[in-house]
Amino acid sequence: METGIRILNKVKAKNPVLVVGMPGIGNVGRVAAGYMVSELKMKKFAELHSPHFPHLVILDEEDEARMLRCEFFHIRGKRDLIVLTGDTQSVTPEGHYDFCEKVLEFSRKMGVKDVITLGAFPSGELKTEPRVVAAVSDKSLKKKYPFLDFGKDHPVGTIIGAAGLMAGMGRNYGMNTLILMGETFGMPLMMDPKAADRILHVLMKILGLKLDLSKLEKTVAEMEERLKKTEEIHKKLLEDMPKSKEDVRYIG
pLDDT in tens, 189-198: 577 888 888 9
Q: What is the pLDDT of residue 37?
A: 92
Q: Are 145 and 134 in contact (CB under 8 A)?
A: yes
Q: Are 107 and 176 in contact (CB under 8 A)?
A: no
Which residues have a Cβ under 8 Å from the Cβ of 12 and sit 6 or more positions away?
A: none
Q: What is the dihedral of CA 56, 57, 61, 63, to 10 degrees?
A: -100
Which residues have a Cβ under 8 Å from the Cβ of 110 and sit 6 or more positions away?
A: 11, 13, 16, 82
Confidence band (pLDDT; 50, 70, 90) for 249? very low
pLDDT surpassing 90 at residue 230: no
What pTM did the predictor assign?
0.84
Which residues have a Cβ under 8 Å from the Cβ of 66 and sit 6 or more positions away?
A: 57, 58, 60
Assign a CATH topology to domain 4-214: Rossmann fold (3.40.50)
pLDDT surpassing 70 at residue 247: no
At residue 57, what is the residue type?
V
**More confident of the two residues 135 and 223:** 135
Which residues have a Cβ under 8 Å from the Cβ of 83 and sit 6 or more positions away?
A: 18, 19, 20, 21, 33, 36, 37, 42, 72, 73, 74
Confidence band (pLDDT; 50, 70, 90) for 42? very high
pLDDT tens for 93-148 read: 999 999 999 999 999 999 999 999 999 988 877 777 888 999 999 999 999 988 88
With CA atoms as reference, report the closest residue to 82 among 65, 106, 98, 62.
Answer: 106
Domain ranges of the chain: 4-214
